[in-house]
Amino acid sequence: MKHRYNLVVVLALLIGFAAPALANSSGSLAKAVNSDFRKDQREARDQYRNPQTTLEFFGFQDTMTVVEIWPGGGWYTDILAPALKAKGKLIAAHFDAESPVDYYKKSLESYKKKIAANKDYFGDVEITVFNPPSKLAVAAPNSADMVLTFRNVHNWYMNGDEAAVRASFQGFFDALKPGGVLGVVEHRLPEKLDQVENKRSGYMKQSLVIKWAEEAGFKLVAQSEINANPKDTAQHPNGVWTLPPRLRADEDKLEHYRSVGESDRMTLKFVKPAVL
């Protein structure tokens, strides 16, 4: 009976310590999501991207070392960096400065300037290079608690085919600590459609994304419909870019695509096994 009592006490203490940590992380996240700094973004796109719910689903904690893959202009950085500033760390695995693609170089420079001009808001964001399949070291091996990628898998597939996607997932696996989390959000192609025929559409089959992640050693532990959109058929004249926010469509079709909203998206949570 004494041992049972001690076990109950230990569990109670663990729960007591864990609850404030979870509450604090939720508070930091909510503060960042609702900050005035990102007011325009919040009003325009949070209804489709659901950032707080998505990050909570992945198990985000404000004490983590988090790697954000290809942050682009920093839509998610505007949330992650301030939430992690006090107790955690954000690593932005951005485009390659040596890339022959002007868009990548300009995006990287713009991102750096944005971070430098708002140090009080962002804190210290470490910037690394990610350029699959050659440059994959987004962080030191076994150092990150969480790797996050938002709507990027289709880019690697379009730019380098399956080999680039497989290399990408392997790079994420190597960067994560055992037990670390990979969070993936991606435009979703219906399973009945052919991936090769839709290669340039910007949409990916969920089954393929899971397959490639598992081949790298990850285990799928949860999937969510947080970012689903049943109105999206994934069959558009200009692929996913037909929909908001790009709206690459004829003038007389714009209102229709606005009514569809942003793309249907998979939201997948993977874990690097603690025992390999």
73 close to 60: Cβ distance less than 8 angstroms: no
Residue count of the chain: 276
Alpha helices in the chain (DSSP H): 2-33, 39-49, 51-58, 77-84, 102-117, 119-122, 153-175, 206-215, 254-260
Closest Cα partner for 184 from 55, 30, 25, 52?
Answer: 55
pLDDT tens digits, 21-50: 455 667 999 999 999 999 988 888 999 999
Q: Token pair of 116, please?
A: 């430098």
Q: Given the DSSP bridges, would you call strands 144-150 and 265-271 parallel, antiparallel or unpaired?
A: unpaired
pLDDT at 275 exceeding the cut of 90: no
How far apart CA 126 and CA 4 sit, in angstroms, is 47
How far apart CA 190 and CA 165 sit, in angstroms, is 19
| Cα-based distances in Å from 264 to 204, 224, 245 | 11, 12, 13
In this prediction the pTM is: 0.90
pLDDT tens digits, 204-217: 999 999 999 999 99
pLDDT tens digits, 93-135: 999 999 999 999 999 999 999 999 999 999 999 999 999 999 9
Q: Token pair of 132, please?
A: 């699959």
Angle between helix axes 206-215 and 153-175 (nearest 10 degrees) is 30
